[in-house]
Each structure stands twice: as C-alpha cells, then as structure tokens.
Amino acid sequence: MNDIPLPSNADQMANAPVKITRVECIPLHTPFKTPFKISSGAAREVVETLIVRLHTDQGVTGIGETQAWRRQGSAETLPNLVRTINDYFAPMLIGRSPFDVAAVMHDFNNAMYNTLYAQAPIGDAMYDLMGKILGVPVHQLLGGKCRDKVRIAAVLTMQGTTGSLIDSAQGFVEQGFRHLVLKIGNDPTMDLRNVIALRKKFDNKILIRVDANAGLSYDRALSLLTKLEPYDIETAEQPLAIWDIDGMAALARAVRMPLMADESVSTDHSLLEIIGKRAASSFQTKIAKNGGIHYIQKLWHVAAAAGLDINPGNHPSTSVATAAVAHLCAACPHPVMAGVFAVGVSGALATDIVENPIIPVDGEVLIPTGPGLGVTLDEDAIASLRIDV
Ligand SMILES: [Mg+2]
C-alpha cells in the first residue's frame, strides 16, 4: 500500500485562513411598484427585506437576502429574523471560515430547527464570500456553468378586472415573456374568465400556469381545475393547503393538468413526502422559504433523482436573492422550468438595492459573471430604505 505523505500544512490548506468577524443585519422596506395581491391576505405595499452582510478579517464582505414574508406557512417578522441571527447565529459564526458553509448550516439547523428564513441570507453570504475570495462566480462553486441564461415567468397578480389583467399580460408579452403565472383562488368565475381571455388574446404564443397559493379546498380545486382543463394549462401550482399532501395526491390523479408543489415544500423531508405520495409533478423553491443556496441545491438533486421537474422561484426579491437563484440555475445540469425567481426585478418592485441590478432581457435572465453573487450593494439605496426594528 502506498504511503502518500500529507503536506505539513494540510490543516491550513483544508481551511481557508479567512475568518468571519462580524454579522451585520440590514432591515429594509422595499416598496412594490403597485400593491401585490395573491389569494391570501391584503395587497402588500412593501417587501420586508433583510440583507445580511458578513465581514471578515481580510476586509472582504459577503451579502445574502431573506425576507419576512409572513404568508404560506411563514410566521417571520423582521425583528424576529434579526434577533435569531444576532442572538443565536452570529455567536456560532464568528471565527468560522466562509468555506465551512455545510458545517455551519448543519449547526444552525441543530441549534434552531425550522429557521430556514433566517439561515438563508447567512449561507448565501458565505457563498458570496467564497466566490469573492477565489475570484469566481458562485455557480463555479456549485458545479460549474451548464447554461448562460435562463428563461423566466411573469406573475399576473389579482387585478380586479379582466381588462387590467390582460393589459398587464400584454406588457409582459411585449417584454419577451412567454410564461405567465396567473394568481387564482378567490373567485372561480373570474379565474375562468381570465384564463379564457388570456388564451383568446395570446392563443398558443404563451404558456399559462395558474397558482392558487394554497387557497382552495379539494372540492373547489377539482371543480375549478376541471373547468380550466380545455385551455391548456401548463401546471396548476399549489392548489391546496400546505398540510394537505394527501389531497394533492388525490387531485393529481383526478385532473389531467400537472400539479406543482410550492408552499408544501420547505425541507428535504417535505419534498420526500411529495415524491413518495406522487402529490405533484414539479416543485418550486424560494431562497427565503427553503433556506438559501445550500439547501436548495440539495432539494434540486433529490427532485431530479425522483423525476420531479424543478421550478426556480422566489418571493418578490431584489437582485441579491435573484442572483442567488440565477447561479443555482447556471449550475443545474437538469432542465429547469421557467420560474418566477425574477418577479421582483421584472417590474414588481419599485426599486433595487444594488449598483448593477439584474434586468431581464426578452424574458430571460443572464447569469451574473462577477465574483461571488456578482451584485454590489448600492449604499445610497440601502440608506434610503433602511428601517429600525
Ligand atoms: Mg407559488
């Protein structure tokens, strides 16, 4: 047996010398351009964004984004995210290497389970740091580049009238979008009318996805989706409540259109339940909901192994979390669906917080090429949106 001597500095080589020295929480109120309405809750005026900036002893910093969405299974508030990070995660992080992302995320989960919204910006900031230290974009850390750009879908929020919905859809189609996600679930008569109007207006030039955001009962979903079937719906997203996986599985057998799970999937265990019960044909991830890049890459691998289609999504986000998903897409060797991960930068948000925002072109997002996430915070924008919590 060959005795291969380890280099004398193997310990140092295994751990980059850079150490995290400070965890900075930056809570923001990021305004929507127009109030954002889905099946649950009132229309929203702002996104409660939290940026985490990690400082190091080498001067290089890394950023990640999460938000207090407070719907669809999330009970987050900005103050509780900041307290969780400052009081519990920061002491566990100080002195660690940004290259220890798997160990750090594992420690967070052991210390405080079900804190994915608070873990997301830290893990993603560690990836941003690793990329900046090595001078490579994050997708190089995730397996390398499989695509240069990724097609995205636009979201049609609840508009009040079919006319204004069609106007909104027309705007997206003129921008080059071919995938439209229609929010449904409050008024089946209007949902049907909207789908008929979209199909009549755009014929087969668009793909129509419908998203009930967990807002329907089984019987209402069966009734509505059956009526929508003749209009060639690509996928019906999360028709039923988060907890009703058995209902989703029964519905998947009762309707012809494929179903997608979104709110029902937070961890790898909830994904395994969807797979085991064949409750959906595809599933959607979001940076905040699923805990950031580290966990999402794992979920995508599990889904691909099970033959589940991957939908790269996001809550409405700034270019920071949008970039995180773009890098995941870049490094994914499997097909990815046209996801809604760029809805925040496709017109939903009134402003962005980086100097080099991601701007979709022709319904596609180009993969950022700069080191780390490839986006740089705009300090003036941060100062103007910052709030005290
Ligand atoms: Mg959804």
CB within 8 Å of 256: residues ≥ 6 apart: 229
CATH of 140-377, one of 3.50.30.30, 3.20.20.120, 3.10.20.520, 3.40.50.1360: 3.20.20.120
CA 78 – CA 80 distance, rounded (Å): 6
Ligand 1 ion: Cβ-proximal residues, 5 Å cutoff? 211, 262
Take residue 159 and report the two structure tokens written for it.
Answer: 């508009």
**Of 292, 345, 359, nearest to 50 (Cα)?**
292
Measured in Å, residue 373 CA sits from the centre of ligand 1 at 24
Residues 231 and 199: beta-carbon distance below 8 Å: yes
Query: What type of residue is 262?
Result: D
For residue 43, the model assigns a pLDDT of 81
For residue 353, the model assigns a pLDDT of 98
For residue 9, the model assigns a pLDDT of 44
**Of 345, 303, 304, nearest to 324 (Cα)?**
345
Q: What is the CATH superfamily name and number for domain 10-135?
A: Enolase-like, N-terminal domain (3.30.390.10)
CA 178 – CA 92 distance, rounded (Å): 45
| Sequence spans of domains, the chain | 10-135, 140-377
CA 389 – CA 28 distance, rounded (Å): 10
Measured in Å, residue 201 CA sits from the centre of ligand 1 at 24
For residue 261, the model assigns a pLDDT of 98
**Of 144, 112, 148, 106, nearest to 126 (Cα)?**
106
For residue 1, the model assigns a pLDDT of 40
Residues 263 and 237: beta-carbon distance below 8 Å: no
Measured in Å, residue 330 CA sits from the centre of ligand 1 at 22
In this prediction the pTM is 0.94
CA 217 – CA 310 distance, rounded (Å): 25
For residue 41, the model assigns a pLDDT of 72
CA 264 – CA 244 distance, rounded (Å): 8
Spans of the chain below 50 pLDDT: 1-2, 4-10, 12-14, 16
CB within 8 Å of 388: residues ≥ 6 apart: 27
Question: 329-367: b or e for each residue (b if 16 or more CB lie within 10 Å)?
Answer: bbbbeeebbbbbbbbbbbbbbeebbbeebbebeebbbeb
For residue 10, the model assigns a pLDDT of 43
CA 215 – CA 211 distance, rounded (Å): 9
Residue 84 sits at the vertex; the CA angle it makes with 58 and 108, to the nearest 5 degrees, is: 70
Residues 330 and 146: beta-carbon distance below 8 Å: yes
For residue 28, the model assigns a pLDDT of 98
Take residue 83 and report the two structure tokens written for it.
Answer: 């307290």
Residues 101 and 343: beta-carbon distance below 8 Å: no
Measured in Å, residue 316 CA sits from the centre of ligand 1 at 11
Measured in Å, residue 15 CA sits from the centre of ligand 1 at 39
